Amino acid sequence: MAWKPATPQLELALPGAPASQFHPTPVERLSRSARRSGSLIRQALYLDQEDAYAAGEVGFLARALVQATLPHSDPKANEFVRRNGHFTLSILAPKDVGLPFGRYPRLVLAYLTTEAVRRKSPDIELGSHFSHFCAALGIPPTTGPRGSLPMLREQLQRLFASTFQCIFHDESQGRHAGDGFLIAEKRELWWDPQPGKGEASWGSHVLLSDRFFREATEAPVPLDLRVLRALRSPFEIDIYVWLTWRFFRLRRPVTIPWASLALQFGCGYANLRHFKKRFLGYLRSVVDYYPEARLEASFSGLRLDPSPTHVAPRSLA
């Protein structure tokens, strides 16, 4: 059933594209100066720099974790499910640990995948100081009850304790397949809590599970790590990596219904109108970094037209 917009309409034009490329759609009204200022700041961080290969900032993310993603916020449960068409990602965590969520585990997964591709080994060194690892992810290291260091440490524990299930089910074709894995078979996290006072006696490393290592290295999705670190919301990160993956595979225009996008990106939204408004707000930030993306929003869904992938595919060698 069609619904009427509850907010004034605002035309959103993508950077570097004709204004007609993005049809008017109901979104939050922002002042022109505020929108322009935010756009210029974000573009200055990325568009004026070298391309990702020249800057040595090409990263990767495992394809299964692009097709369906982690929770944006704490689900307060030990099981979580995301669906994308016939593909389902199910995550199960011990009750006394909890599920990984938010921006930090996404940055960690990109780091682990990138290191696996570069090193061609499942044994990933994380370094001797926790604050150094935090900085490598683009997270300013801070202490205190709500500081980045204790929050990242908790998310690492949640991520490595969780079991992932990738399920493909197509009832119409009578097809069902599944695969389960841990991110790491083994992890040893020994970090000096006070960097700068001598080297820690233990280094930290992670041994990726065989299944995740194969997923990470056989067909990873290339990303610009500068963009990943600059995006502040896990929702923005999910949209960015998803667009990069979809445009790599897209050969003809496709319109994805809002209901399908809500299942993939926003299981917590009870009202489809609220999801669409939030999605389009985050999409603004993403297209500042990805002006080549050709897409348009309508009342029925999001249309994607074939576009250059954000990081051009090259040999992983």
SS (H, E, C) 239-277: HHHHHHHHHHHCCCCEEEEHHHHHHHHCCCCCCHHHHHH
Domain-terminating residue out of 185, 219, 253: 219
Find the domain containing 150 and state its range: 63-219
State which amino acid sits at residue 166: C
Residues 250, 309, single domain; the answer is: yes
Residues 82, 212, single domain; the answer is: yes
Residues 41, 158, single domain; the answer is: no
- 10 bridge partner residues: 25
Is residue 111 within 8 Å of residue 137, measured between CB atoms? yes
Residues 25, 118, single domain; the answer is: no
Domain-terminating residue out of 219, 243, 258: 219
Residues 256, 274, single domain; the answer is: yes
Task: Give a yes or no: residue 271 inside a domain.
Answer: yes
Task: Give a yes or no: residue 258 inside a domain.
Answer: yes
Helices (H), the chain: 32-46, 64-67, 103-119, 130-136, 148-161, 210-218, 225-230, 234-249, 258-265, 272-289
Residues 192, 248, single domain; the answer is: no
Beta-carbon contacts of 86 under 8 Å, excluding residues fewer than 6 positions away, are: 168, 169, 170
To the question of pTM greater than 0.85 for the whole model, the response is no
Residues 180, 74, single domain; the answer is: yes
pLDDT in tens, the chain (317 residues): 333 333 333 333 333 333 333 333 333 333 444 444 555 555 555 555 567 887 788 999 998 888 888 999 999 999 999 888 888 999 999 999 999 999 999 999 999 999 999 999 999 998 878 888 888 899 998 888 888 888 999 999 999 999 999 988 777 777 888 888 999 999 988 876 555 554 444 578 899 999 999 999 998 999 999 999 999 999 999 999 999 999 988 999 999 999 999 988 876 777 899 999 999 999 999 998 998 999 999 999 999 999 998 987 665 44
Task: Give a yes or no: residue 256 inside a domain.
Answer: yes
Residues 178, 245, single domain; the answer is: no
Domain-terminating residue out of 219, 248, 277: 219
Please tell me the total count of domains within the chain: 2
Q: Which tokens in the block code for residue 114?
A: 């990138």
Q: For residues 26 and 299, what is the distance between their CA atoms, to the nearest angstrom? A: 9
Q: Which of 200, 199, 205 is nearest to 185 (CA)?
A: 205
Residues 196, 249, single domain; the answer is: no
Q: For residues 99 and 166, what is the distance between their CA atoms, to the nearest angstrom? A: 16
Residues 20, 157, single domain; the answer is: no
**Which sign, positive or negative, has the C-alpha torsion 275, 82, 221, 237?**
positive
Task: Give a yes or no: residue 225 inside a domain.
Answer: no
H helix or E strand, kind and range, residue 174? none
